[in-house]
Amino acid sequence: MEEEGHVLLERTKEMTEEEKEEEEKEEEEEEEEEEEEEEEEEEEEEEEEEEKEKEKEKEKEEEKEKEKEKEKEKEKEKEKEKEKEKEEEEEDEERVQCRSGGK
């Protein structure tokens, strides 16, 4: 009888050891899963940051392009003004010549 009790006690100890090992294993797996999830979240955040940076760069480029377009428009306006002035000068000269020639 004593022997049966001893064997039972041994089995209980073995079960307890197995349960402990199983529990530890589960805890480790849970920790690993949590770490993986955290890493994934960090990666996602980094990707989002990169996307934001790319978007900012794109916006800056678009702004630069708009500025270039504005400059081109200003240059065109200046050219038009010069052309207009030139035409007016030529017309003035023609008038002067007509007056002088007519006298």
100 versus 75: the higher-pLDDT residue is 75
3-state secondary structure the chain: CHHHHHHHHHHHHHHHHHHHHHHHHHHHHHHHHHHHHHHHHHHHHHHHHHHHHHHHHHHHHHHHHHHHHHHHHHHHHHHHHHHHHHHHHHHHHHHHHHHHHHC
pLDDT the model gives residue 73: 97
Asked if pLDDT for residue 18 goes beyond 80, the answer is yes
86-99 pLDDT, tens digit per residue, is: 998 888 888 878 77
For the chain, give the mean pLDDT: 89
Q: What is the pLDDT of residue 1?
A: 58
Distance in angstroms (rounded) separating the CA atoms of residues 80 and 37: 64
Q: How far apart (Å, rounded) are the C-alpha atoms in residues 88 and 86?
A: 5
pTM of the model: 0.47
